């Protein structure tokens, strides 16, 4: 099993290109199931999750071809041969559930295994199912699968999400594009990935209004056509690499970044004493002077502070001056990185959904274990600032969400290398 070695203490200077958003691409790919014409995605990230979704789509009869070293995905679902998404693929990734809505909308039936994924809480799919039921879907859960049918096709309806759910909003939004009549989604997620999906679907002929707000209206059409669409920049990768010079000094420009993607995050960086400048090419980040200041963070649905940047922010605050309180309101069991940071000398108290971080002057390198995707990269960020050598084990999580991480960080001066497992 691979591990990553980080030798800390180096300032970072240069440019880091930001890839297309993993979460956006994993949503856009199932949209190919809605049409028998080709869908091409540009600026696709080169990640293991993208490969998994490609395998899933192929298992349904779709054609998926990676071009230009994987940054272009050419897809076609003109000859779907299967409406069952089997457990052996779906178990690898929670985003697999996003084939349910498109399959049901176009084929009138679908059978999808309940998904697996990373260990950061239950993350149930009940909102996906309730939203589809509001469009007339008939659902049955048996033997670990969701069997759905709509013999006469889906019909428009109104559904208010009891809590904001990005995945459920995406699934129901895609299904509604082919439903008869008008669908109204209330308390919908507002993330940039939702906006990106709606823009792509509109290029395919869908009639959608209100994306980026809490109410989305969709007027169903008889069929969608082909399109070409660029995947939006990954705001979580962007935020992660913005923290690199913040945590160990220097100045880095994140190419392709936009302030609007990470506004709440930038507000916390500013309060901590980190300058963020929007340039014509991206976002330039540097400490203002000296040690950073403690700040309190509460994760919230977009446009609030992203839960997927909480672990990385904790790594930064480990060496802040003062005490910071991080409150996790999106997922339970998402402080598993805290004990590993404590192995590096951090002072952290965790009580339920709250972590109190008492800043220390410096961290020290140590062997640590990655528990999930964002925890993995938080330990690498901590290693950049730590004295000595940090060995991060079980880094297979990283490959699900960060392409060429070692190359990007070493390109701005970090001492980082991957050690291949036996």
Residues annotated as binding site for UDP-N-acetyl-alpha-D-glucosamine? Answer: 94, 123-127, 308, 330
Give the contacts of 48 (CB within 8 A, at least 6 positions apart): 396, 399, 400
38: Cα within 13 Å, side-chain hemisphere: 10
CB 53 within 8 A of CB 59: no
DSSP H helices in 278-372: 310-317, 338-343
CB 241 within 8 A of CB 252: yes
Task: Output the six-digit token pair for 160.
Answer: 């208010």
Give the contacts of 165 (CB within 8 A, at least 6 positions apart): 127, 128, 189
- Look at residues 328, 306, 316 and name the one whose alpha carbon lies nearest to residue 273: 316
Annotated binding site: 22-23, 94, 123-127, 308, 330
- Look at residues 105, 104, 21, 91 and name the one whose alpha carbon lies nearest to residue 56: 91
Q: DSSP of 210-264, one letter per residue?
A: -TTSSEEEEE--S----EEEEPPB-HHHHHHHHHHHHHH-EEEEEET--GGGSHH
Annotated binding site for phosphoenolpyruvate: 22-23
Active site residue 318: no
- The pairing of strands 72-76 and 39-42 is antiparallel
**CA–CA separation, 341 vs 376, rounded Å?**
11
Catalytic residue among 118, 200, 248, 318: 118
How is residue 334 annotated by DSSP? -
163: Cα within 13 Å, side-chain hemisphere: 12
**CA–CA separation, 201 vs 206, rounded Å?**
5
Q: Is the C-alpha dihedral spanning 281, 309, 27, 209 positive or negative?
A: negative
Catalytic positions are: 118
């Amino acid at each position: 099993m691979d591990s990553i070695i980080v030798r800390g203490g180096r300032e970072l200077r240069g440019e880091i290109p930001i890839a297309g958003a993993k979460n956006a691409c994993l949503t856009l790919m199932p949209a190919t199931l809605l049409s028998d014409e080709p869908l091409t995605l540009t600026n696709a990230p080169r990640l293991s999750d993208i490969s998994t979704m490609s395998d899933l789509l192929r298992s349904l009869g779709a054609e998926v071809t990676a071009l230009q070293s994987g940054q272009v995905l050419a897809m076609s679902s003109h000859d779907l041969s299967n409406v069952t998404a089997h457990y052996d693929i779906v178990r690898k990734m929670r985003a697999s559930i996003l084939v349910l809505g498109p399959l049901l909308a176009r084929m009138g039936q679908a059978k999808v295994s309940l998904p697996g994924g990373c260990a950061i809480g239950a993350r149930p799919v009940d909102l996906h199912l309730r939203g589809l039921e509001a469009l007339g879907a008939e659902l049955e859960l048996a033997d670990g699968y969701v069997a759905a049918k709509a013999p006469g096709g889906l019909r428009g309806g109104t559904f208010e999400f009891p809590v904001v759910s990005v995945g459920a909003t995406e699934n129901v939004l895609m299904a509604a594009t082919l439903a008869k009549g008008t669908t109204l989604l209330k308390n919908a997620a507002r993330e940039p990935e939702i906006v990106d999906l709606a823009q792509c679907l509109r290029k395919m002929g869908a009639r959608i209004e209100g994306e980026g707000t809490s109410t989305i209206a969709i007027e169903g059409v008889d069929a969608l056509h082909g399109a070409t669409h660029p995947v939006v920049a990954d705001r979580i990768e962007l935020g992660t690499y913005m923290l690199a010079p913040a945590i160990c000094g220097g100045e880095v420009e994140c190419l392709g970044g936009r302030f609007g993607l990470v506004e709440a995050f930038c507000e916390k960086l500013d309060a901590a004493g980190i300058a963020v400048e929007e340039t014509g090419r991206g976002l330039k980040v540097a400490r203002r002077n000296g040690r950073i200041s403690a700040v309190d963070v509460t994760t919230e649905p977009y446009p609030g502070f992203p839960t997927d940047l909480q672990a990385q922010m904790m790594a930064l605050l480990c060496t802040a001056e003062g005490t910071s309180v991080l409150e996790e309101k999106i997922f339970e069991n998402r402080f598993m990185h805290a004990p590993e940071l404590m192995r590096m000398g951090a002072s952290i108290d965790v009580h339920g959904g709250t972590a109190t971080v008492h800043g220390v002057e410096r961290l020290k390198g140590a062997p640590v274990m990655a528990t999930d995707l964002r925890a993995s990269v938080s330990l690498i960020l901590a290693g950049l600032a730590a004295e000595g050598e940090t060995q991060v084990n079980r880094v297979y999580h990283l490959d699900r969400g960060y392409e060429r991480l070692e190359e990007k960080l070493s390109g701005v001066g970090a001492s980082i290398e991957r050690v291949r497992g036996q």
